[in-house]
Amino acid sequence: MESVKSLFRSLGTATAASLRLLSLIFAVTLLAVAGTVLVGGLNSDGTDTPSAEAGEARVYPENPPPVVFTPTSQLNIAESTIAPGLTDVERRHRLLRSVVYVETSRGSGSGVLIDNQRCIVITNEHVVATGTGDIKAHVITRFRANGENVVRTVDAEILGRPSVDDDLAILRLSECNNLPWAPLGNSDLLESGDTVTAVGHPHGFGWSMTEGVVSHSARFWDDMSAKSGFPLVQIDTPLNPGNSGGGLFNEEGYLVGINSMKRLYAENLNFARSSNLVTAYMGRLAAEGRVHDRTLGIIVNNNDDGSITVQEVATDGRGNHVGLREGDPFIAVNGQRIDGAPSMTRGIYADTDGIVELTVVRNGAVYTLTLDYNQERRS
Q: Which of 152, 173, 194 is the last residue of a domain?
A: 173
Are residues 305 and 330 both part of a single domain? yes
The torsion region of residue 363 among left (phi > 0), alpha (psi -120 to 50) and beta comes to left
Are residues 187 and 280 both part of a single domain? yes
pLDDT of residue 24: 24
Are residues 193 and 263 both part of a single domain? yes
Are residues 194 and 280 both part of a single domain? yes
> Is residue 290 domain-resident?
no
Are residues 245 and 325 both part of a single domain? no
Domain count along the chain: 3
Q: What amino acid is encoded at 85 in this protein?
A: G
Round to the nearest angstrom and report the end-to-end CA distance of the chain.
Answer: 46
Are residues 224 and 365 both part of a single domain? no
> Is residue 365 domain-resident?
yes
pLDDT of residue 44: 31
Are residues 164 and 219 both part of a single domain? no
Q: How many CB atoms lie within 10 A of CB 215?
A: 19
pLDDT of residue 57: 83
pLDDT of residue 194: 98
Asked if 256 contacts 250 with a C-beta cutoff of 8 angstroms, the reply is yes
Which one, of 233, 253, 232, lies nearest residue 98 by Cα?
253
Q: Which of 148, 173, 198 is the last residue of a domain?
A: 173
Q: Which of 155, 173, 191 is the last residue of a domain?
A: 173
pLDDT of residue 50: 32
Are residues 344 and 372 both part of a single domain? yes
> What is the distance between the alpha carbons of residues 219 and 152, in angstroms, rounded to a whole number?
37
> What is the distance between the alpha carbons of residues 100 and 255, in angstroms, rounded to a whole number?
14
User: Residue 128 belongs to a domain with what CATH number?
Assistant: 2.40.10.10
- Secondary structure string (H, E, C) spanning 214-271: EEEEEECCHHHHCCCCCCEEEECCCCCCCCCCCEEECCCCCEEEEEEEEECCCCCCEE
Q: What amino acid is encoded at 11 in this protein?
A: L
> Is residue 178 domain-resident?
no
What is the residue-level pLDDT of the chain in tens, covering all 379 positions?
A: 333 333 345 565 433 332 222 222 222 212 223 445 556 543 233 323 233 343 478 999 999 999 999 999 999 999 999 999 999 999 999 999 999 999 998 889 999 999 999 999 999 999 999 878 899 999 999 988 888 889 999 999 999 999 999 999 999 999 999 999 999 999 999 999 999 999 999 999 999 999 999 999 999 876 777 789 999 999 999 999 999 999 999 999 999 999 999 988 888 899 999 999 999 999 999 999 999 999 999 999 988 887 899 999 999 999 999 999 999 998 999 999 998 889 999 999 999 999 999 999 999 999 999 999 988 777 6
Which one, of 243, 271, 275, 295, lies nearest residue 109 by Cα?
243
Q: How many residues does the chain have?
A: 379
Which one, of 236, 256, 279, 112, lies nearest residue 188 by Cα?
256
> Is residue 289 domain-resident?
no
| Phi, psi dihedral angles at 4 (to 5 degrees) | -60, -40
> Is residue 78 domain-resident?
yes
> What is the distance between the alpha carbons of residues 106 and 13, in angstroms, rounded to a whole number?
9
CA distances from 350 to 27, 251, 354 (A): 22, 27, 10
Are residues 338 and 265 both part of a single domain? no
Are residues 86 and 18 both part of a single domain? no
Domain span including residue 373? 298-378
> Is residue 60 domain-resident?
no
pLDDT of residue 38: 58
> Is residue 62 domain-resident?
no
Are residues 167 and 196 both part of a single domain? no
- Secondary structure string (H, E, C) spanning the chain: CCCHHHHEEEECECCCCCCCCCCCCCCCCCCCCCCCEECEECCCCCCCCCCCCCCCECCCCCCCCCCCCCCHHHCCHHHECCCCCCCHHHHHHHHHHHEEEEECCCCEEEEEEEECCCCEEEECHHHHCECCCCEEEEEEEEECCCCCEEEEEEEEEEEEEEECCCCEEEEEECCCCCCCECCECCHHHCCCCCEEEEEECHHHCCCEEEEEEEEEEEECCHHHHCCCCCCEEEECCCCCCCCCCCEEECCCCCEEEEEEEEECCCCCCEEEEEHHHHHHHHHHHHHHCCCCCCCCCEEEEECCCCCEEEEEECCCCHHHHHCCCCCCEEEEECCEECCCHHHHHHHHHHCCCCEEEEEEEECCEEEEEEEEHHHHHHC
User: Residue 332 belongs to a domain with what CATH number?
Assistant: 2.30.42.10
Q: Strand 120-123 and strand 108-115: pairing?
A: antiparallel
> Is residue 266 domain-resident?
yes
Note the pTM of the prediction, 2 decimals. 0.85
Are residues 188 and 236 both part of a single domain? yes
